[in-house]
A = this chain, B = another copy of it.
Amino acid sequence: MSGNIQQPKTYAQAGVDVEKADRFVHRLKALAARPEHAKLWKVSSGYAALYPTGPDSAVACTTDGVGTKLLVAMAMKKFDTVGIDLVAMCANDLICVGATPGCFLDYFATGKVEDLQADQIMKGIVEGCDQAGMILAGGETAEMPDLYQGDHFDLAGFAVGTVNRAALIDGENVAVGDVIVGVASSGIHSNGLSLARKVITAEDTFYRDLLTPTKIYCRPAAQLFEQYPGIVKGMAHITGGGWTNIGRINKSVGYDIDKPLPVPPIFDRLLKHVESVSEMYQTFNMGMGLTIVCKSGDAETICQAFNSLGFFAAQIGTVRDNFKGIKVTAGASTPPLEIQFSNKT
């Protein structure tokens, strides 16, 4: 609780008040509620909205941004990868409801369109769409002098996918004894950067790693949805809130992580300054960008689908009923850790 602005020890001290933002979202949901919301297919994870297009088909829609990872790109004057992050943040959300990514639209806002910067940003977005198997179908370039200063800009993305009733992932049939599969991240991805940027400054050898683009998990996921519909019982994209995202699969069980994936060194570097291991796991992905729950007999098929396409997936734990939350009961670089799910939706 030092309050030192240069070296915050928690995400809240870095200026991001997750609880206040949660309260805002709660008020917003009450304000926006309309009887017509009953039309939408229900998925409690909230990764995407499911708008029906037929009795057994829907489109999944989601939006996200890159967050303050953009400021790292600006500081390094390297703009060709944040577009990959933008697509990743949206596309990885789509697959968590079982949707196959279809098309992407971008919103690019800047004080002045500078050709070199804008072209590099778009190169990344197109690369991200290629990785996700989506087409870039539209977008908006907003030139807003006076709102964005210097070389500042912002990016928002919108992704649409298609999903059939048989492939829908709603987490409802997750059961005790099911297996937890983890898929490795490429590092920090696009979350917790408001804290990480203050701990790892430009002089740090890990600074460049802050810009490593987010892994896009769509190709193997879409392959699984097509070849084995229903094989995935639950899927969580590990984003803001770190491993608490696992609870979005289903909060009525416990997730016992007894063989975590290797934790990339950047997180050890961050841990030297961050207040606690618990804060780390509630802010960062800690080496796991995607979590999947399946029947124990299906874990190998799922791991194989990811590993054959160059990802690293492994069985990391089991679903239990003797607690509700996440327990990390083994792990080379961390002491045992327990996180309870909050009751907030």
Binding site for B on A (CB under 8 A): 14-17, 20-21, 24-25, 27-28, 31-32, 34, 36-37, 39-40, 46, 48-49, 51, 53-54, 57, 59, 61-65, 67-68, 70-71, 102-103, 105-107, 109, 112-113, 115, 118-119, 122-123, 125-126, 129-130, 135-147, 149, 152, 154, 156, 158, 160, 162, 194
Contact = CB atoms under 8 A, between A and B. Distances in A.
B103 A53 contact: no
Contact of A154 (B28, B109, B123, B137): B109
A140 B194 contact: no
A102 to B, nearest CB: 6
A145 B95 CA distance: 29
The secondary-structure label for the interface of chain A is mixed
Contact of A141 (B21, B31, B106, B125): B21
A130 B140 CA distance: 24
A147 B32 contact: no
Contacts of A158: 61, 63, 105, 107, 158
Contact of A32 (B126, B154, B194): B126
A36 B133 CA distance: 10
Contact of A136 (B32, B122, B137): B32
B141 A103 contact: no
Report the copy number of this chain in the oligomer: 2
A331 B36 CA distance: 44
B61 A17 contact: no
A54 B54 contact: yes
B147 A70 contact: yes
A106 B63 contact: yes
A319 B316 CA distance: 67
Contacts of A138: 46, 48-49, 61-63
